[in-house]
Amino acid sequence: MRSKYTISQFADIAEAYPVIFFDSYGVLRNHRGLIPGAVETMDRLRKSGKHIRVLTNNAARSPAMAAERLAYYGMKDIPASEIITSGATTRHFLEQKVKHGKVAYLGTATSAEYIIGAGLEAIPISEVDFERLDEIGAVAFLDDEGYDMNVDINLLINILRRCQVPVVVANTDLLYPTTANDVALATGSVARLAEYVLGRKFVKFGKPATQMFQMGLDSVALDMPEVCPGDILMVGDTLHTDILGGNTYGMATALVLSGNTRPESAELEIEASGIIPDYVCPSIGQ
């Protein structure tokens, strides 16, 4: 990379920030398991008094489930109280805004149970009765799996052509990794396609939207009342979610090259997107 995007060591830049927000996949772990050195880095940050939060666009798991997942991989000291998920922000919206009717969803039953299960009835898109569309109170894009891409997307488009109801997107990620080198279309891509085709705008949660960053800041403020965005370093592997969201919210941002953004393409992606991180690091373990 050119000197304009100098590679920094994560340990050096983290010293300046009392609060550090981490993305999960690609930053703390990847398809192989934990990022080498990640556990040691987190231990060092805690011993130095840093406030840590994990912000993940994975809407399929609750914070408790996400904490269990990290513990399974070997990172056992991150409690559910320090994890903010896009599912949590979506759940809060549905609780406040949808007072009646069923929520038709794309995703897994597990994600629906967590996100929609707050006093609302969830129904898969595939089970919606077109003769009773008046029963639908909202539509939700929840997860990357759990539905037939070839069939259910067309059903969803036809439902939304007939229903003027709120549409929420719990995960705005465009791609998700399937192997070390391959990716697949994620829920955010499907939602963007539906928006374009229908000429509508959906309510989006997850990074880069501000709700997760605000929930993270509010969580830290319980112990650090004077905290402000300038105290926070957002660490992520994806320019269009982690870095764009952090930049927009007024946080410092560090792009790590251990996940979606690869070392060989980082310079081109930064210049092409115009999304410029404050720092670029090989990983949090180096």
Specify whether 188 is located in the same domain as 266: no
Q: Assess whether pLDDT exceeds 90 at residue 171.
A: no
Tell whether 77 is covered by a domain. no
User: Per-residue b/e over 146-155, b at no fewer than 16 CB within 10 Å?
Assistant: bbeeeebbeb
Domain end, chosen from 142, 177, 204, is at: 204
Helices (H), 74-209: 86-97, 109-115, 149-162, 187-198
* Torsion sign, CA atoms 95, 110, 220, 209: negative
Domain end, chosen from 180, 204, 228, is at: 204
**Averaged over 44-58, what is the pLDDT?**
96
Q: Tokens standing for 179?
A: 């192997």
Specify whether 196 is located in the same domain as 214: no
Specify whether 146 is located in the same domain as 214: no
Tell whether 197 is covered by a domain. yes
Query: Could you tell me what percent of the chain has a pLDDT over 90?
Result: 73
Domain containing residue 115: 88-204
More confident residue, 181 or 13: 13
Tell whether 71 is covered by a domain. no
**Averaged over 196-218, what is the pLDDT?**
94
Specify whether 94 is located in the same domain as 198: yes
* Sequence-distant (≥ 6) Cβ neighbours of residue 229 within 8 angstroms: 213, 217, 249, 250, 251
The single residue listed with the structure tokens 């919606």 is 128
Specify whether 106 is located in the same domain as 20: no
Domain end, chosen from 172, 204, 236, is at: 204
Residue 108, number of CB atoms within 10 A of its CB: 18
Tell whether 243 is covered by a domain. yes
DSSP 3-state percent helix, strand, coil across the chain (nearest 5): 40, 20, 40
Specify whether 139 is located in the same domain as 52: no
Tell whether 63 is covered by a domain. no
Specify whether 192 is located in the same domain as 245: no
Q: What is the pLDDT of residue 137?
A: 93
Q: What tens digit of pLDDT does each residue of 122-154 get?
A: 999 999 999 999 999 999 999 888 999 889 999
Q: What tens digit of pLDDT does each residue of 212-261 get?
A: 999 999 999 999 999 999 999 999 999 999 999 999 999 999 999 998 89
Tell whether 286 is covered by a domain. no
* Amino acid residing at 236: G
Check which CATH number belongs to the domain holding 141 and give it. Answer: 3.40.50.1000
d(CA 126, CA 279): 45
- Name the residue among 76, 30, 1, 7 with its Cα closest to residue 286: 7
Specify whether the backbone of 20 is left (phi greater than 0), alpha (psi in -120 to 50) or beta: beta
Specify whether 101 is located in the same domain as 7: no
Q: What is the pLDDT of residue 77?
A: 92
Specify whether 110 is located in the same domain as 127: yes
The residues with which 281 forms a beta bridge, in sequence order, are 256
Which of 34-38, 119-123, 264-268 has the largest mean confidence?
Answer: 34-38
Residue 119, number of CB atoms within 10 A of its CB: 9
Q: Assess whether pLDDT exceeds 80 at residue 267.
A: yes
d(CA 110, CA 35): 27
The residues with which 20 forms a beta bridge, in sequence order, are 52, 233
Specify whether 18 is located in the same domain as 107: no
Q: What's the chain's length in residues?
A: 286
d(CA 135, CA 138): 9
CA atoms within 13 A on the CB side of 54: 26
Tell whether 276 is covered by a domain. yes
Tell whether 42 is covered by a domain. yes
The alpha carbons of the chain give a radius of gyration, in whole angstroms, of 19
3-class SS at 215? helix
d(CA 50, CA 272): 34
Q: What is the pLDDT of residue 4?
A: 64
Specify whether 198 is located in the same domain as 113: yes
Specify whether 172 is located in the same domain as 234: no
- Is 183 within 8 Å of 175 (Cβ atoms)? yes
Q: What is the pLDDT of residue 118?
A: 65
> Total structural domains in the chain?
2
Q: Assess whether pLDDT exceeds 80 at residue 119.
A: no
Residue 261 dihedral angles phi and psi, to the nearest 5°:
-95, 115
Q: What is the pLDDT of residue 2?
A: 43
d(CA 59, CA 57): 6
